[in-house]
Structure 1
Amino acid sequence: MDLGIRGKTALVTASSGGMGRNIAHALAAEGVNLALFARSADKLQAIAQEIEAQHGVRALAIRGSMLSRSDVDNLVRRLQTEFSGVDIAVLNTGRPPNPIRATVEETEEERWTEAYQSQLWGTIQVVSQLTPQMMTRGWGRIIAVTSASVKAPMPHHSLSTVFRAGVTAYMKHLANEVGTKGITVNCVAPALIETPHRAGSAAYTPEQAAARKKLTPLGRMGTQQELTGVVTFLASMQAGFITGATVPVDGGMVSSLF
């Protein structure tokens, strides 16, 4: 299927590895030019070169933090200068503070502040600066990567759930405001997805891996390709009538009707 986005430009945040890197590759495979944004300049540049070599698109590495206003301002300037703006924005973020704890044990203000900034504020800061560009262009796709925990809170995930639920609410409000400008705004809520830091024996014992697989009716973990495929579809022309939605990619783990 031709997704109709060849030649478009996408920004992927937190794209120096893991899920962000894989999303960038999936979009590049559809002929999308990439702006990669993360704090690790060396890793980012290596991935940009990797994408250009494998997919024949342009990939620009822009070092910066989603939490820094000056870095985000520089990002927006570079997007305008290098690509005349951006068409697709995928908002991926880092993880909340470790180790994860029970909610009643989350009493440290520093951990709540860090989680708020990394999970919610960084996303808002980037989106609020990019949206006017998209409105001028009259077309856009904004996709935030959240978590299935926003639909069914998981144990020991309150630092993530609280602020990713905030992202979900922000994106719903934004979808209601920019739809007439040709922009769709959606969230993807993954769970039980195999990621590089989970692969191999260092991540889970056999017993832990078996227990996680039982959380989904499919009886297995999801693949990165299954997640990136959903993100890529939401960026497509065919997804133009989907907005304000949260799409779970959790193998049926969340058992609610809605």
Structure 2
Amino acid sequence: MNLGIDGKLALVTASSGGMGRNIARTLAAEGANVLLFARTAEKLQAVAEEIEGDYGVKAHVVAGSMLVADDVARLSGTLASLGGADIMVLVTGRPPNPLRDTLKETEPERWQEAYENQLLSVVQVVNAVAPQMLDKGWGRILAITSASAKQPMAVHALSTVFRAGVTAYLKGLANELGPKGITVNCVAPALIDTSHRSGSAAYTPAQAERRVSMTPLHRMGTQEELAGVVAFLASAQAGFVTGSTIAVEGGMIGSLF
């Protein structure tokens, strides 16, 4: 299937590794040029060279933080010089570790960190980049949230609250930007394999086994499966899907809607 994004410019945040990198690679495989945004210039450049070598598209790099106004302004300026983003994929940080029960989340600093990393960062980038999309008559805005925003999970209060906030924010944007031809959606993953990570973010064997038991498919989802859903929502064929949250969680969520 031709997704109709050949030659489009896709901004992907947090794209120096992990989920963001995989999403950028998937969009590039469909012919989209990409702009990679994350904190570490060296890692971004390595990913950009990898993408250009593998897919023959343009991969641009802007190093910076979604929380630093000057960095976001540089991102916006670079995108403007390239004609503006057609696709924006917002990947953000994880909540502070270790995860805790809800009533044990008593430290204001942890709430502030989660708010900034998961919600404020999205708002700042959207405010800077989305206005450039308004005159194009076509656009795709996507945020990676979490299935916990649909079905709250134990010890995920910091994630659930602010991922739900992103969901509400994007629902409002979908209503406002629809007349401009811009769709706005969330992708809500869970049970996705994180073996590409190291350290505290990776699942232990016991955690992985428990997560496998939570899905009717009896396996973890892959990064490629998650990125494929993002690519479809960024496509021409998904032009009538907006204001939605698409769960990528192997059937874990028990509700009908």
Normalised TM-score (structure 2) = 0.97
Q: Per-residue CA shift, 1:128-187, capped at 9, x if unaligned?
A: 211111102121000000000000011111111100100000000000001010000000
Match of 1:210 in 2: 209
Match of 2:23 in 1: 23
Match of 1:42 in 2: 42
Moved more, 64-73 or 165-174: 64-73
Q: Quick one: distance in 2 between partners of 1:198 and 1:84?
A: 34
Alpha carbon RMSD of aligned pairs, Å? 1.4
Task: Summarize the alignment of residues 71-150 of structure 1 with structure 2, pairs less than 5 Å apart.
Answer: 71-81=71-81, 83-150=82-149
**How far off is 1:197 after superposition?**
4.5
**How far off is 1:231 after superposition?**
0.1
SS in 2 for 1:96: coil
Q: Quick one: distance in 1 between partners of 2:60 and 2:197?
A: 28
Moved more, 66-75 or 238-247: 66-75
Q: Quick one: distance in 1 between partners of 2:103 and 2:54?
A: 48
Contact 1:48 1:60 in 2 (8 A): yes
What count of residue pairs does the alignment treat as equivalent?
256
Q: Quick one: distance in 1 between partners of 2:195 and 2:180?
A: 37
Q: Per-residue CA shift, 1:103-145, capped at 9, x if unaligned?
A: 1111111111010000000001101211111102121000000
Match of 1:181 in 2: 180
What amino acid is aligned across from residue 181 of structure 1 in structure 2?
A: K
**How far off is 1:195 after superposition?**
2.0
SS in 1 for 2:134: helix
Change over 3 Å in CA distance of 1:218–1:198 after alignment to 2: farther
Q: Quick one: distance in 1 between partners of 2:142 and 2:211?
A: 27
Q: Where do 5+ consecutive residues of structure 2 fail to align?
A: none
Q: Where do 5+ consecutive residues of structure 1 fail to align?
A: none
SS in 1 for 2:135: helix
Contact 1:62 1:75 in 2 (8 A): yes
**How far off is 1:207 after superposition?**
3.4
**How far off is 1:199 after superposition?**
7.8
Normalised TM-score (structure 1) = 0.96
SS in 2 for 1:16: coil
Q: Quick one: distance in 1 between partners of 2:108 and 2:160?
A: 16
